């Protein structure tokens, strides 16, 4: 059956939302206006020979500093196809609609996080795997861990109190002192100092733009999660780093963390862990793809990498990579958190 893939228009909103109801029921009601009306995403609709919509895909534009040069990239999102059309052809037609933006120069590269069933489609369309998405977890309380061995409640609470105290005493963050003049506080928004932080930050790989406008859209206007921001200021009041987080059922999720320079990241992580302990969280968790230099920091503070079925793939034109093809595919070149992904779940 012949298929036509066309770029979505404003009047196609209900068509796409109807497709989501059938094929992406987990999508929240606020997702479309946040991502496509207020945000940087655009859509394509797949139609059959009778012009009936049978699938769609989105592309979220993202400005990134790529080896020192600001460029536009895209994240493939929201690919869905009606059940009776879930063969290789329709899905590849949708995937090729967004990879075409690289070939025509609109985007420098495309990155995506396909599920197991979609990875073969991504590969056949020319995408290549970069890395497994790292899910990093730091346990802060031991009671639930001890539950299978200590069934009696009072004994378990007593043991967990002792274990938690020992874990804190042995944790590297217990030995960090805040540098003189550094101020740490929690807020809910992003002001012009975030622009200055982004402009001053040093980076030599691939990192997404983190200015105030983007952060306010990504986190401040997110329809599904209420985020807060831990800020770290220097003696002169300049923003040195920040950490975006939210809590849910005893877990604190770090959605983004960023510092003006690598040495300051340690202090930022320490303050984030201390804040989670103050809020009596049971564990901390974050998503991160990046260099060993940064993952060693997470390990240093007690985070453990847990396996996930979630992998990052990219599409990049080989004849435009300027000799950097291998670097695009190297996890060491990236700095990627939830800020660069379209969902917090």
User: How much is the pLDDT for 320?
Assistant: 55
> If you ran DSSP here, which 8-state letter would residue 237 be given?
S
The 10s digit of each residue's pLDDT in 30-67 is 999 999 999 999 999 999 999 999 999 999 999 999 99
Per-residue pLDDT, averaged over 335-340, amounts to: 97
Whole-angstrom distance, CA of residue 255 vs CA of residue 72:
22
The 10s digit of each residue's pLDDT in 81-94 is 999 998 889 999 99
Average pLDDT, the chain: 91
Helices 116-124 + 88-103 axis angle, to 10: 50
pLDDT beyond 70 at 271: yes
User: How much is the pLDDT for 321?
Assistant: 54
Q: Which of 7-16, 17-26, 168-177, 327-336 has the lowest mean pLDDT?
A: 168-177
Q: Where are the domains of the chain?
A: 4-133, 135-307
Per-residue pLDDT, averaged over 5-29, amounts to: 93
Per-residue pLDDT, averaged over 300-318, amounts to: 92
User: How much is the pLDDT for 202?
Assistant: 80
Would you say the CATH fold of 135-307 matches that of 4-133?
Answer: yes
pLDDT beyond 70 at 69: yes
- If one counts every other C-beta atom within 10 angstroms of the C-beta of residue 108, the result is 21
Whole-angstrom distance, CA of residue 323 vs CA of residue 315:
15
Q: What angle do CA 212, 214, 217 make, to 5 degrees?
A: 105
- CATH of 135-307, picked from 3.40.630.30, 3.30.360.10, 3.90.209.20, 3.40.50.410, is 3.40.630.30
pLDDT band at 231 (very low <50, low <70, confident <90, very high): very high
User: How much is the pLDDT for 163?
Assistant: 61
Per-residue pLDDT, averaged over 152-170, amounts to: 63
CATH of domain 4-133: 3.40.630.30
Whether residue 81 contacts residue 88, with contact meaning beta carbons closer than 8 Å, is answered with no
User: How much is the pLDDT for 165?
Assistant: 66
């Amino acid at each position: 059956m012949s298929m036509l893939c066309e770029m979505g228009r404003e009047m196609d909103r209900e068509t796409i939302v109807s497709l989501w109801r059938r094929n992406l029921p987990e999508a929240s009601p606020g997702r479309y206006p946040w991502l496509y009306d207020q945000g940087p995403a655009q859509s394509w609709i797949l139609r059959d020979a009778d012009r009936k919509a049978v699938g769609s895909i989105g592309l979220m534009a993202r400005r990134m500093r790529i080896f020192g040069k600001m460029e536009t990239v895209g994240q493939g999102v929201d690919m869905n196809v009606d059940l009776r059309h879930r063969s290789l052809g329709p899905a590849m037609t949708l995937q090729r609609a967004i990879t075409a933006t690289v070939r025509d120069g609109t985007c420098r590269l495309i990155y995506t996080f396909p599920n197991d069933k979609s990875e073969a489609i991504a590969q056949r369309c020319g995408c290549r795997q970069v890395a497994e998405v790292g899910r990093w977890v730091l346990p802060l309380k031991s009671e639930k861990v001890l539950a299978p061995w200590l069934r009696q409640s009072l004994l378990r609470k007593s043991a967990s109190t002792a274990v938690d105290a020992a874990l804190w005493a042995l944790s590297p963050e217990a030995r960090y002192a805040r540098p003189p003049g550094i101020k740490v506080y929690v807020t809910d928004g992003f002001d012009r100092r975030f622009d200055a932080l982004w402009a001053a930050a040093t980076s030599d790989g691939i990192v997404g733009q983190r200015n105030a406008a983007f952060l306010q859209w990504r986190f401040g206007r997110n329809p599904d999660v209420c985020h807060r921001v831990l800020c770290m200021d220097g003696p002169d009041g300049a923003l040195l780093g920040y950490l975006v987080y939210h809590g849910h059922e005893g877990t604190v999720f770090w959605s983004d963390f960023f510092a003006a320079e690598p040495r300051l990241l340690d202090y930022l992580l320490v303050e984030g862990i201390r804040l989670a302990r103050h809020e009596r969280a049971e564990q901390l968790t974050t998503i991160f793809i990046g260099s060993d230099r940064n993952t060693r920091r997470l390990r240093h503070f007690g985070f453990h990498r847990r396996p996930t079925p979630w992998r990052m793939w990219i599409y990049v034109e080989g004849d435009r990579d300027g000799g950097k093809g291998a670097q695009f595919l190297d996890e060491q070149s990236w700095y990627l958190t939830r800020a660069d992904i379209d969902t917090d779940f």
